[in-house]
Amino acid sequence: MKDADNVRPVVMTIAGFDPSGAAGILADSRTIIALGCYPVAVTTAITFQNAEGVSGFVAHDSDNLRRQLLPIFNGFKVSAIKTGMMPTREIVREVGRILVEHPVSAVVIDPVMKSSSGYSLMSDDAVIELRKSPLLLGSIVTPNIPEAERLVGFSISDEKGMRRAAESIRALGVKAVLIKGGHLNAAPEIFDLLDENGEVTVFHSERIENGEFRGTGCALASGIAASLAQGHSLKEAVRRAREFVLGAMREAVSIGGRRILFRTR
């Protein structure tokens, strides 16, 4: 087989390191591989956690972050980027700077603000920095309801609120916003709302109730990035990523009383 016959798009994850493997760069990398791409990973922080939750973290400084990123950009053609945990203003600012220097056409921002167990993973200063960061220009942002509320400053209780929030986030310079509706209520169906340059698509799916899941947001954003790297439209990338996550939730493994996504195809 010739090398050209086995080329895979390179997808970069810029996120925290979760030693338990349930979230962060390990979860991102599993998803990227399962969807047919090659993962490269840059850590923004090392977290202290297990399957039950987070007890703390140490964030990298901007110099350490840059020293991780530059060799990757110099040695690989990166087709898409997914960002996850960016805990400090310094980290958000440096990622924005580097992506101005090394632009990538597909950037998916998962604004991770709290862990599944409720531990704060993003400072108020970092949120403020993100709202004005060049990172947002032309990117896709994938907040859940609490994250979207923190970005826009008002409560969201229904689809109308999700539409209003998506429009407000797009006003920051974002190309598209996917607001995940899983936190809205306990109805048997959940829906996510995609606003792409003002065109709204609502994705519906069953609510899977078989334990507390970790890593769903990481997998969804990474799945979108991998699909965009393969040339799919944003709408199709969201559809494929949602389908992957729903399948991974059905096949999740039980570790430490939590359900952890572990799908390899």
**What is the average pLDDT value for the chain, to the nearest integer?**
90
pLDDT of residue 41: 98
pLDDT of residue 22: 84
pLDDT of residue 212: 67
pLDDT of residue 131: 94
pLDDT of residue 1: 40
Which parts of the chain sit beneath pLDDT 50? 1-2
Q: Which two tokens stand for residue 35?
A: 């969807």
- The span from the first CA to the last CA of the chain, in angstroms, equals 22
Which residues fall within 8 angstroms of residue 129, CB to CB, at 6 or more apart?
A: 89, 92, 93
79 φ, ψ (degrees, to nearest 5): -90, -25
pLDDT of residue 256: 64
pLDDT of residue 211: 61
CATH no. for 3-260: 3.40.1190.20
Are 49 and 80 spatial neighbours (Cβ–Cβ below 8 Å)?
no
- Domain-wise residue ranges, the chain: 3-260
SS3 state of residue 18: coil
Model confidence pLDDT, tens digit, residues 67-98: 999 999 999 999 999 999 999 999 999 999 99
pTM comes to: 0.93
13 vs 52, 61, 219, CA distance in Å?
24, 17, 11
Q: In terms of DSSP bridges, do strands 38-50 and 10-17 run parallel, antiparallel, or are they unpaired?
A: parallel
Strand order, beta sheet including 106-109: 53-59, 38-50, 10-17, 78-83, 106-109, 140-141, 176-180, 189-196, 199-206
pLDDT of residue 216: 87
